[in-house]
Amino acid sequence: MIFMGVNLWSVLVAAIATMVVGFLWYSPLLFARPWMVAMGYDPNDKARMEAMQKSAGKSYAISFIAALVSAFVLGKIIEITTVNSLLYGMKIGFAIWLGFVTTVQLTAKLFGNQSTKLYLINTGYQLVCYLVMGAILAVWPW
């Protein structure tokens, strides 16, 4: 399934991959506790944590739609640049992350009074996502 030169199956796989990365990144295995503390949540407040979990479905759905859009746009850039190797796909993903994602998040950090730790956790997640998406979108069988 190709739309505007972009393989929609690769977009779907790349978006799913970002969700998997997010589940791991923000899990207790990696950065759940430091992220919660940086966001001002008390990880020991069971009632608050349960309330957050109950309302998470809508946020995950919207995040998945955003991941689909990001993957499609990155896929189009990769298609236009005729990148077809894992390394170059990751380089394109890195360039998009560096030029757009991290700069926007840095501005939000500066004017939104975010801690550096929160900025690094969130921006690090985005970096991994764009590297993974770039790799998937560049080497997906056309």
Taking residue 98's Cβ as centre, other Cβ atoms within 10 Å add up to 12
Would you mind telling me the total number of residues written for the chain in this entry?
142
pTM of the entire structure? 0.91
**What is the phi-psi region of residue 100: left when phi exceeds 0, alpha when psi lies from -120 to 50, beta otherwise?**
alpha
Query: pLDDT class for 142, splitting at 50, 70, 90?
Result: low
Strand, coil or helix: what is 6?
strand
Domain residue limits, the chain: 2-139
Alpha helices in 46-115 (DSSP H): 46-54, 56-80, 86-96, 102-111
**Does residue 127 carry a pLDDT above 80?**
yes
DSSP 8-state symbol, 42? -
